[in-house]
Chain A
Amino acid sequence: MSAFLVKRLGFAVVTLWAVLSLVFVVVRIVPGDPAQVILGDQADATAIAAMRTRLGLDAPIAVQYWTFLSGALRGDWGVSLVTGRPVIQEILAVLPWTIELTIVSMAIGIVIGVPLGVWAAINRNRMPDYVTRIASLLGLSFPPFVSAIILLIVFAIMLRWFPVISAGQGSASAWFQAMALPALNLGLIMAAYITRVARSAMLEVMQEDYVRSARAKGVPWRVVVWRHALRNALIPIITIVGLYLGILIGNSVLTEIVFNRPGLGKLIVGALNQRDYTMLQGMMVIYTLIVVLVNIATDLTYALADPRVKLS
């Protein structure tokens, strides 16, 4: 394995550790005693003491930190203060919903966004470019819950093509029915972002000397665009699409609420409203894990796309 990948893996581990530590610190420096906050103002001293023991807050800080870190690594993320079930089980129960939604949305975004961006770039300052630019700018201006509400009103309430609650399971058609609107909502917004990145990356690459060389040696135009130029433009596109996953995950929270679809988003909002501290801790850990894994995947793809990476 190359030094580049080892370095990036190291960065991933550091990220994970840093975020976990941050979570640990934040939960403890927030104003007010968590036990007090959970139980409310009327709780008596013994109940609060019991809650502190249950949360592990009475142990020395170093022990708490060790318990937290080692627990996080072993998958022991404590027990939900609301349901009493292990946090990891609650999370694993809804995780597939969010993952499949994210993957399908990202696929929609890439499949629409990359060709559209290339098309706009090679028609720079002509009609296709103007239309694409305005459309993508409009697309990324939509707050995801607004676009979700519009999709909901038009396709679920007025046209009745899809269910109002997107939680179908079992048959393939039920899966599609449940997936269609949320994935379309997230996918189109993602496509707006990716179109812009693809366009600007292509514009830059099309001015490079090697594109001129390719034309000067009589390579057909479509090959110049799709092999010589796009292969190079993919390198920045991959990096930025990896970064956009953070936006996508944030947007999925809002989308899950509007479409009433199970997933991490609904889980975290529930935990926030009910002040379920252990659940929140677990949520932050899982989000960090997802981000770190995505980063590794991005780096791998990047290394595959750019021959200059492997040697450095």
Chain B
Amino acid sequence: MSASVHDAAPVAPPRLRWLKATISAFNANKTSWVGLVIVVAVILAAVLAPVIAPHDPLEQNILSRLQPPHENYYLGTDYFGRDILSRLLYGARISLVIGIASTVIAMLAGSLIGILAGWYGGRFDVVVMQAMDILLAFPSLILGLILVAMLGPSMENITIAIALTSIPSFARIARAPTISVKERDYIEAGRALAFSDARIMARHILPNIFPEILVMASLWLANAIRTEASLAFIGLGVKPPVATWGGMIREGFENILDSYWLVLAPSLAILIIVFALNILGDGLRDAIDPKLKGER
């Protein structure tokens, strides 16, 4: 509970307040710090891949294929003699770019749909949300699978496919709080003060539901990264020889009986980033939840 903090604390300027609120949200659930550190580390590794990767991720070396980890190749080599650590670092770029891009697209489109449906209500709401429900009911991995197969497995298409499968969830997430905030008296007071609909939505509703949407975005980023890997595992990832985590597992799976490290490293990589994002999002959701309830 933060109520006691506010009573005595001197009043901070608005920007610092925001920062303080974020930090106290993290402190409310300390494990979310762990998630944040891991996520930042993975992003740094992906950005710095050209600098820190010991080898060219695409360089084949037939003489040193399927080598177990040793000092030259910290994580071993694959069937074509490529360095697994380097491929892992470059693969992180694909995962993060597709994951972040598709989540941002889904967040923007979904929130817009959800806020409009929640605010205007009536027939518009019914039709739009029924359409969203239909999309939501369909298994998202299979929808993604079909979309990528139809559009062709390029980075843009995979991003679009994953974004499309997550739009309904964001629409639902944005709509529910919009409806509950809409019922609050301060929104009605805004109407009585002759504010326009656009102003009420942008200045009064959005800031109140934004933390919830942002937290869901971190959870959905985890989902998007997992979906991208799943698609690549099925063979619908970015085309080889480009390194993707799911693709590395797919290739390694053929030699699983004698070269387990081919699968182990990318599997752990996916698990760690997804777990870290989930811890982060979950911790933040816990932190913002009691506050929203406390307002009544």
Contacts and interface: CB of A to CB of B under 8 A. Distances in A.
Interface string B235-249: 110000000001001
Given A18-B134, A26-B150, A137 B142 contact: no
Contacts of A268: 142, 145
B139 A291 contact: yes
Contact of A253 (B141, B229, B256, B282): B141
A246 B140 contact: yes
Contact of A144 (B230, B253, B279): B230
Given A19-B134, A141-B275, A251 B149 contact: no
A137 B282 contact: yes
A254 B138 contact: no
**A contacts with B: majority SS:** helix
Interface string A139-172: 0111111100110110001000000000000000
Interface string A168-193: 00000000000000000000000000
A273 B235 CA distance: 9
B91 to A, nearest CB: 14
Contacts of A287: 138-139, 142
B130 interface: yes
**B contacts with A: majority SS:** helix
Contacts of A273: 235
A250 interface: yes
Nearest to A269: B234
Contacts of B31: 134
A284 B137 CA distance: 13
B130 A146 contact: no
Q: How large is the interface on A (under 10, 10 to 19, 20 to 34, 35 or more residues)?
A: 35 or more
Given A249-B139, A251-B141, A284-B146, A15 B134 contact: yes
Contacts of B131: 18
A143 B146 contact: no
- Of B136, B139, B151, B230, most A-chain CB atoms within 10 Å: B139
A242 to B, nearest CB: 9
A12 to B, nearest CB: 9
Contacts of B149: 272, 280
B267 interface: yes
A134 B35 CA distance: 12
A78 to B, nearest CB: 17
23 contacts: A11-B130, A30-B150, A137-B282, A143-B226, A144-B230, A145-B233, A146-B267, A146-B271, A149-B249, A149-B267, A150-B267, A153-B256, A243-B136, A246-B136, A246-B138, A246-B140, A247-B139, A253-B145, A254-B230, A268-B142, A272-B145, A272-B146, A291-B137
Interface of B: 31, 130-131, 133-134, 136-142, 145-146, 149-151, 222, 226, 229-230, 233-236, 246, 249, 253, 256-257, 260, 263, 267, 270-271, 274-275, 278-279, 282
